[in-house]
Structure 1
Amino acid sequence: MSLDQRYPFPQVFLVDEGGSQRQSVSPPNLIPCWSFPPTQEAMRSRGKSRTCMGVSPSLAMVVLMLFLLVFAALGFEAWQILNIQKKLKDVEKVEHEPVTEFGAPLKQIGLYKPESIEEEKKDRCAAHVIGRIEKEPYQKTLRWEPKAGQAFTSGAVAYRIEDGALQVNESGVYQIYSRVELIFGRCLPSSSFEHTVFVRRAGQASPLTLMMAHRSGFCPQQSAHSWTTENYLGGALQLKKFDRVYVNVSHPGYLSHSHYGNFFGLYKI
């Protein structure tokens, strides 16, 4: 077996008790044995030296960066909240400037500040009166209930108790309406009635008819028996200041006792 001459072998000397040196003995033909530490153990020890509590430094650094990002985000949010609170306090301290004619919002059709029903009634020229039962002999010019139930008057409109008129105290175009309900105890084919809305105006002696209806032929062609009929008038008309509007019925004794079947009203457009 040939040996590698690059690796010299140690010289072996034999010493006797007398301390005399003997001749060196030629090295035997031995194969050198080198002892190396186990590879796995070295790697483990090296790995342990690079860890802290079993966590690699790179992973610890990533976790640390995440925590820093979270705290930075929380700090930014807190800063924004403080700024918003400061701005709100500044706004509260600012005094509102008076609205000038040019700075005031313009009123548009359909856009208005909602108001209570009572305030709206007080400002608007309108009236609605309902039928009432007459204790005195019936008159062709009807009398009404101005406050019972849904009846009311508001604005520049007043009800005249003495003659049953609705008086308007502002000139303009008004929507006027009237409904009457009659009960004929013996309704015949020849039965008929008239329903009229008219106005009395200052400076004119005779009344002015505004609307009129003549109803006939509403009874069946059989023997006479009880029958109920009605009529409605309505329209937009021009009225002048202090005009008084009335309702006439040709047969007031046939009016039904229904308060809501007979009514009269107007409102300014």
Structure 2
Amino acid sequence: MTHINVLDPGASPLDYYGFELRRHREAAGLTQRQLGDIVNYTGSLVGQIETARKLPTQEFSERVDAALGTGGLLSRLVGLVMRSQLPAWFQQVAELESRAKGICVFQPQLVHGLLQTEAYARAVLSAMGDHDLDNRTSARLARQRILDKEEPPVLWAIFTEAVLHQEVGGKKVMREQLRRLLSHERNPSINVQILPYETGVHAGLMGSFDIFRFARDPSIVYSEDYETGHPTANPDAVESRSLRYDHLQAAALSVKDSAALIRRVMEERYGEQLASDRDHMA
């Protein structure tokens, strides 16, 4: 007789998701393989998600909701599941991202997580090892769903030119990542500015930080070190970081000129497939 892993639905959001998936599947009289065939996934994957060994995706959740008639239950749960997979100290930040009406980010070394491609995110997260890399990458990318909401937050992202040259994951990964940044060039909700090398000394030399602005609540600023993050609503801190951000925006290239610089770096530094890059952007 096959051993069935018994989940405690109160152990974690992922366990609760798996418990509910199994409960609704069995109520429908379907095996894992049969459900997999219906939603175009393997029965093995269904089993791994039911036993909390694999993270569900938004697409998987939507397909299973439709197949089992769950009224969108799993689609509502998947966001909570993904957030629970983030480091404990970062979960509050993900919550701030999901509620914010406006987000301002400054990153001097890497593309911000909200704008990373899957390959770039995997390369960044693998820097300290491959343990649970698939799930960690999925959890990071899941944060980006806030940009697809009916009323998404307005995102301002300032990167130093060094971010464009820091070769994360190889040239192919970087071409894909820079192409992703360019894809937002005409999106008024996502604005990317580059702080060029020629700027020299600038207001962001102390490191990266984010500012979250809300419809009714006070703004919150966030910074992090190697081990943890530091969100605060202290008015003095918010005012200080907001002033720094104003100076960074003034020193950075315009959105249009930033896109031109990104294209130039793509050609000069990652141009092995220059012709195809041009075809893609034409």
* TM category, shorter: under 0.3
TM-score (norm. length: structure 1): 0.21
**Structure having the higher Rg:** 1
